[in-house]
Amino acid sequence: MRKPLMAGNWKMNKTISEAVSVIKALKSAFADVEDVEILLCPTFTTLYAVSNEVKDSNINIGAQNLFWETKGAFTGEISPVMIKDAGCSYVLVGHSERRQYFGETDETVNKKTRAALVNGLGPVVCIGETLKEREDGVTFKVIEKQIREGLAGLATEQAALVVIAYEPVWAIGTGKTATPDQAQEVHAFIRKVYAQMYKDAVDKVRILYGGSVNSGNVSDLMKKPDIDGGLVGGASLEAESFIKLVKYFK
């Protein structure tokens, strides 16, 4: 059985004091949660403070991006070593906003994924199609390319540590969401392609759904056999709404 993972991506939100305030509320609310792994991905500037706040709790911390070199003349970039040192155990790679606004490609996603794994970070690799690509009927073609190129060249033990987040771009921040059946169809396809690449790792890989996940749809999504959790944006910014998502089974 794959342990469900609920991940909150705070994007470019929250000062240090705001972030710590939310974390304090979540720590007590999640103290009794054992059946779901919890992950929060704050901004770089809040990582150290948040990581200190979650010590001795069941909340994991991840960064929202990384560079593939460990150090050097790369002004403005953050290395996997620095992220690990700040208290992170995970890192987001290739989020649709990184692809859309900052030129992320499947090639850079692959470099970042491998750098994360080599340095002891669990990569949450984001893939997904745009509205035009879905309307053009090329969803599966786009998804397969992103998987085969973005996750190429891993050892079996590395492949088992990857988390894949399917985020239909047309459903991010729009209030729209794929139906549970639509999401399951793509998740099953993702697992099929990954099995062709890493058959000995595929049963361990968790595939998250990301795209306007909220307390109203999370339970139905989580009933699907290939949906192993959620990558949540806006609904993770406030303690109350994220608590409902993590405790979807209650």
Catalytic residues: 95, 167
C-alpha span between 237 and 14 (Å, rounded): 9
User: According to DSSP H, which parts of 30-130 are helical?
Assistant: 47-53, 80-85, 96-102, 106-118
Which residues on neighbouring strands pair with residue 189, listed in sequence order? Answer: none
Task: Report the 10 Å Cβ neighbour count for 131.
Answer: 13
Tokens of 164: 């894949």
What number of H helices and E strands is found in the chain?
11, 8
> What size, in residues, is the chain?
250
Tokens representing residue 59 in the block: 């909340």
Q: Which helix (H) or strand (E) holds 234?
A: none
* Amino acid identity, position 102: F
- The answer to whether 7 touches 231, Cβ cutoff 8 Å, is yes
Find the DSSP H helices in 80-201. 80-85, 96-102, 106-118, 131-135, 139-150, 156-159, 180-197
